[in-house]
Structure 1
Amino acid sequence: MTVLGAALRPLFQVAPKDLPAAALDAGAASERLSKVVYTVTECCQATLLTRREATLVQKLDAYPEELRGFAYEGAGVGLAALDHLLPWQRRTRRFVDGAASPYVFAVYLGAGMGLARLRRDPETFRRRLGDEVFNWVVLDGYGFHEGFFAHRRHVQERATPRHLSGYALTPFDHGLGRAVWFATGADVKRVAATIEAFPEARRGDLWAGVGLACGYTGGVDEPTVAALRARADAYRGRLAEGVVVAARARRQVGNTAEHNEIACQVICGVDSREAADIAAAALADLPTDEVEPAYEIWRRRIRRQFA
């Protein structure tokens, strides 16, 4: 793995020139967002160069608790890249079935980013995961990468990938919304203006992505979160949906954060424990007959709580 990983490593290096200009603006938000990007990148490269899974887990768990989800996201980037070249080994699936089970959301986000970096269609990979609910999160990660690293095409020009269609475009736009949060440096006015330039049919999913980024990554203070809630206007329920998903992802690994607590209380009107419980309850008895993606039913159940 180390030889292959070393060959792949240059593809996953991130330089300042690769980032949207607003993401590099001076300020606490940009500093926070940049730290997250570099944590993901660093852990991706560590994954590519680490042969044993147990050793990899030790490296990821050595990160501060608040950043650990991003460390596992970086691992997902690297594992998906290795799985693409050696698909019979299915490292990503083995990882989330074992040591990374609590971090499944983060690993799948990273996997989508890895596939985007390699310019590969994520759908085949998603179907191989065997996860009937959360495999769609791979498309979220894919959308984030395209919105952040191909910002002009997918955000400014609002293009969608030609190889994605149907429901796949929904989680893709979730990821694109997260990318908007990062790429604007979490500037509320820029976030709102960027989303308002998209067709109305896409705005709800974009706001849901912003909610996830705000709730999970943070980078802003309470007055800014309140301003974000006000600017979301008719899409406040979608914004709350994303915040609740973030609360579950953090609570699931016992990794709470002050910014998540603020987002839950200001945007959702509940504390982070209640928000996580809403997300957990929405998972009960999900149909998996593929008539409609179980992941979409889960998300819809959540947002109905805030309609």
Structure 2
Amino acid sequence: MDVRGFNVKDAASKNQLETIGKTFLDGYAYVVEARSSAEAEERLETIDEQYRGFAYEGAGMGAVMLDSLAGSTKRLDGLLAGQGQHHIYMVYVGIGWAMARLPRFLWPDVTRTDPLLRWLILDGYGFHQAYFRTDAYVRDPARVHPFTWAGGPADYSLRAIDQGIGRALWFVGGTDPDVVTGLIRSYAEHRHADMYAGAGLAATYAGSVGEDELRRFAEQSGPHLPQLAQGAAFAAEAREKAGLTIGHTHLAARVLCGRTPAEAARICTDLMPGEDARATTGPSGEPAYETWRQQIAGRLTALPLTQKDALS
């Protein structure tokens, strides 16, 4: 935190975020050092449930880095064929980390990935850029960073990256809702919704924030409360799917979604497009992933998540 120049709210939050970073690196190392995906998995599964998802995120990055040297997809495929399938959201985010570190000619073939979930790869890419290139991506919020890839249209690619930037802002802001809100508001208004979604995901998954702070964050999100709730629901689904739901997941889901983690996760899975619709685009050209996100936000709002309900 000190090296990166991030805000330090208190010793507990600093320790939490630095532990997350260390666990990510552990997951990366387990995959790179292992002789097989199964051997890496054995070590990954020993990590405490609060942090195990971050280890799988690092493992996703490590698998892609290793495969790029070997000219194969053996380690990533092996990871996703085992326990990694339960952590697919986090593994996909890790792929984006690898892309941020690799030259473009070594990028993985993203057209082989799930067309719905592949946008999480750019979430990981955006997180990496905001975390490690903070001056360019956070402290200079007006700066434009063009991006193209084989995974989908450039316009939505930038939005997916913003979702990752928003998630990183939870770390840059040291889990302080006031600081994170200020960082989001420094960007152009049309980017706020995606960033609040990312920050809501991080506030729920990474935590280190109390109930009063979560309620204040929800209040400060204003018209973007549905997107904040959608991000929180994604986090609940990621933890529920992996069997890693912890006490903080219950707190954040209740405050930000007005639901239990299981209920918030079920909204995500019930609305998830089927296999035949995962690559479709909506009337305005948006991918199925964005339609899914909007439907989740709408369902949370309709059930009856209003700003008053969330804060009462």
Normalization by structure 1: what TM-score? 0.88
Q: Whole-Å Cα distance in 2 between the matches of residues 195 and 121 of structure 1?
A: 33
Counterpart for residue 111 of structure 2: 127
Does the 8 Å CA contact 2:68/2:106 hold for their aligned counterparts?
no
Structure 1, unmatched stretches of 5+, are: 1-14
Tell whether 2:150 aligns with 1:166.
no
Aligned to 1:47: 31
Give the structure 1 partner of residue 21 of structure 2. Answer: 37
Q: Does 1:110 align with 2:94?
A: yes
* CA deviation after TM superposition for structure 1 residue 20, in Å: 3.1
Residue 241 of structure 1: which of 230, 249, 266 is its match?
A: 230
For residues 178 and 132 of structure 1, what CA distance do their matches in structure 2 show? 21
List per-residue Cα deviations over 1:98-129 (Å, max 9, x = no partner): 33111100111111112212354897642232
Amino acid at match of 2:95: A
| Structure 1 residues 200 and 238, CA gap change in structure 2 (3 angstroms) | same
- For the 8 Å contact 2:23–2:52, the answer to whether it is kept is no
Aligned pair partner of 2:201 in 212, 219, 225 = 212
Deviation at 1:28, TM superposition (A): 1.6
Per-residue deviation at 1:240?
0.1
- 3-state SS of paired residue (1:163): coil
Aligned to 1:144: 127
Cα distance in 2, alignment partners of residues 199 and 235 from structure 1: 14
Q: Which runs of no fewer than 5 residues in structure 2 stay unpaired?
A: 149-153, 302-312
Aligned to 2:183: 194
The aligned length equals 290
Cα displacement (A) at 1:91: 2.6
CA 1:278–1:83: 2 relative to 1, 3 Å: same
Structure 1 residue 253, shift from structure 2 partner: 1.5
**Alignment RMSD:** 2.0
Query: Which structure is higher in helix share?
Result: 1
- Between 1:175-184 and 1:259-268, the stretch displaced more is 259-268
More displaced stretch, 89-98 vs 260-269 = 89-98
* Structure 1 moving runs of 4+ over 3 Å: 119-125
Asked whether the equivalents of residues 20 and 151 of structure 1 are also in contact (C-alpha less than 8 Å), the reply is no
Instruction: State the distance in 1 between where 2:48 and 2:223 align.
Output: 37
Deviates more, 1:168-177 or 1:109-118: 109-118
Deviations 1:256-281 (A, max 9, x none): 11111111111111111110111111
CA distance in 2, matches of 1:160, 1:186: 26
Distance in 1 (alpha carbons) for counterparts of 2:99 and 2:219: 35
State the partner residue of 1:276: 265
**Structure 2 length as normaliser, TM-score?**
0.87
**What is the aligned counterpart of 1:95 among 79, 94, 97?**
79
Contact kept? 2:9, 2:175, Cα under 8 Å: no
